[in-house]
């Protein structure tokens, strides 16, 4: 069959960003003809023994409990499994001194779904409205989804059914040339939030760069948005208290128009798809209604075992003492190997490693595109992700977009070291011409 697709059908049936590149990577691995590849493209977390044991133990407790049938064999509330909601409320109130109630929390099938709900509930076309002060003037009926710091998570490029609604802002670059390091910062002179803005979304720590916006930067974005009653969705998939993949000190920010959005994927449950939104009860209600229409509710098995892990304190403990140091040590290997292997006179810059499970490398004035370098790296047995996939919504044709690579920290120590040495040799060859 070849059925006709609607406009939305055509859009949603196409892969975007890294998902499109992963197709090429999978085909490369399959057609390798015996070639050994070091795959530094993966976003899948490493299965750490302590983390796997935690979830096995929680599963055994659930299987032995009288609530097993109620969890697995019955429908539940669209808002989420009540014991998990209660666990989140208790933990966050105690940990951060909040005054949350169960109406401030929504459990979703992964945090990606939160951004899909938000983008389409608040972004796109609205019914035309008349200005009260001027009956002849109408309020604009198109709402944008603002990404205040580009690059950012590639998945934001596919969350809106109205692609043109996604608008990203070019950052400023804080460069330490002597140390070969840099950091992206929001350019508030470029950031426009007004009555045409529907919502704001950004990740902290950031996938792909590992960047952590400061508390002041987050609050400034929230304050700009609050003037126009615009919700700000902070993608905290790598943030404390779980999975706690921040390598620099950071404090989650709550309240007002901020919706704190979590995921348990990098805490060892990517297969169970558990997202958690914490925010104003009116915003949570809108997202819950969207979820009810879309999928009734999130799967409850993963929610039930997550409840046990949070209530016992084990999830926060393992996040801080096992997951964080594991990936932080991987970043240190990338950093050290590049410092030892990359020529000092070439304009390479590693983004400061402040969190997440990736390293981000900028090769200024690269003599070829990031996609072409990606192909060259495959020839020497190294697979990374071209950086141009991580600029969804950026309208400007910025050369920088084609000079970056995302490097996963999920390989073994030896693989990462070997791959960085091969990358350094190839980069030198490319620059020397």
Q: For 78-112, how does the pLDDT look when each residue is reduced to its tens digit (9 = 90+)? A: 999 999 999 999 999 999 999 999 999 999 999 99
Q: Kindly tell me if the per-residue pLDDT of 16 is higher than 70.
A: no
**Looking at residue 45, what DSSP letter applies?**
P
pLDDT (average), residues 189-204: 96
pTM metric for this prediction: 0.95
**Dihedral of the alpha carbons of 261, 263, 267, 269, in degrees to the nearest 10:** 160
The answer to whether the peptide bond before residue 270 is cis (omega within 30 degrees of 0) is no
pLDDT (average), residues 190-219: 97
The rounded Cα 123 to chain-centroid distance in angstroms is: 19
pLDDT in tens, 226-257: 999 999 999 999 999 999 999 999 999 999 99
pLDDT in tens, 317-358: 999 999 999 999 999 999 999 999 999 999 999 999 999 999
pLDDT (average), residues 40-69: 96
Q: Kindly tell me if the per-residue pLDDT of 72 is higher than 90.
A: yes
For the record, the structure tokens of 256 come out as 């007002």
Model confidence band, residue 43 (pLDDT cutoffs 50, 70, 90) = confident
CA dihedral over 204, 205, 206, 211, signed as positive or negative? positive
Q: Residue 187: what pLDDT? A: 98
pLDDT in tens, 273-322: 999 999 999 999 999 999 999 999 999 999 999 999 999 999 999 999 99
Left, alpha or beta for 365 (phi > 0: left; psi -120 to 50: alpha)? left
Query: In whole angstroms, what is the distance from residue 332 CA to residue 1 CA?
Result: 52
The C-alpha angle 269, 296, 230, rounded to 5 degrees, equals 80
Residue position matching structure tokens 């900028």? 362
Q: How large a percentage of the chain has pLDDT more than 70? A: 95
Query: In whole angstroms, what is the distance from residue 101 CA to residue 98 CA?
Result: 9
> Residues 166, 142: contact at Cβ < 8 Å?
no
Residue 257: how many other CB atoms lie within 10 Å: 21
Short-list 252, 235, 364, 264, CA closest to 54? 264
């Amino acid at each position: 069959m070849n059925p006709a697709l609607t406009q939305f059908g055509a859009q949603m049936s196409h892969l975007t960003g890294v998902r499109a590149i992963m197709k090429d990577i999978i085909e490369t691995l399959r057609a390798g003809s015996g070639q050994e590849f070091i795959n530094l493209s993966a976003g899948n977390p490493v299965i750490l023994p302590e983390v796997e044991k935690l979830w096995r133990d929680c599963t055994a407790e659930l299987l032995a409990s009288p609530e097993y049938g109620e969890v697995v064999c019955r429908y539940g509330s669209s808002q989420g499994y009540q014991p998990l909601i209660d666990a989140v409320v208790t933990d966050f109130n105690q940990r951060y001194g909040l005054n949350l109630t169960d109406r401030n929390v929504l459990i979703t099938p992964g945090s990606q779904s939160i951004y899909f709900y938000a983008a389409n509930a608040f972004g796109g076309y609205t019914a035309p409205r008349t200005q009260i002060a001027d009956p002849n003037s109408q309020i604009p009926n198109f709402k944008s989804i603002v990404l205040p710091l580009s690059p950012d998570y590639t998945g934001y490029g596919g969350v809106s059914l109205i692609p043109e609604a996604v608008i990203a802002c070019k950052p400023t670059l804080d460069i330490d040339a002597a140390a070969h390091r840099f950091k992206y910062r929001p350019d508030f002179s470029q950031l426009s939030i007004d009555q045409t803005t529907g919502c704001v979304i950004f990740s902290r720590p950031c996938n792909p760069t590992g960047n952590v916006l400061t508390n002041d930067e987050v609050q400034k974005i929230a304050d700009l948005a609050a003037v126009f009653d615009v919700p700000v969705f902070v993608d905290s998939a790598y943030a404390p208290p779980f999975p706690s993949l921040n390598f620099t000190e950071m404090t989650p920010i709550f309240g007002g128009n901020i919706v704190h959005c979590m995921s348990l994927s990098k805490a060892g449950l990517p297969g169970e798809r558990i997202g958690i939104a914490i925010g104003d009860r009116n915003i949570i209600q809108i997202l819950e209604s969207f979820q009810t229409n879309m999928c009734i509710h999130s799967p409850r098995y993963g929610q039930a075992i997550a409840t046990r892990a949070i209530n016992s304190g084990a999830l926060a403990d393992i996040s801080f003492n096992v997951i964080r140091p594991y990936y932080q040590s991987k970043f240190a290997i990338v950093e050290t190997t590049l410092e030892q292997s990359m020529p000092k006179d070439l304009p390479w810059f590693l983004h400061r490693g402040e969190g997440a499970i990736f390293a981000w490398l900028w090769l200024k004035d690269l003599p070829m595109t990031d996609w072409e370098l990606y192909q060259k790296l495959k020839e020497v047995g190294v697979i990374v992700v071209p950086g141009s996939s991580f600029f969804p919504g950026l309208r400007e044709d910025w050369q920088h977009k084609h000079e970056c690579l995302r490097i996963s920290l999920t390989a073994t120590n030896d693989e990462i070291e070997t791959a960085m040495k091969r990358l350094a040799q190839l980069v030198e060859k490319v620059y020397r011409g």
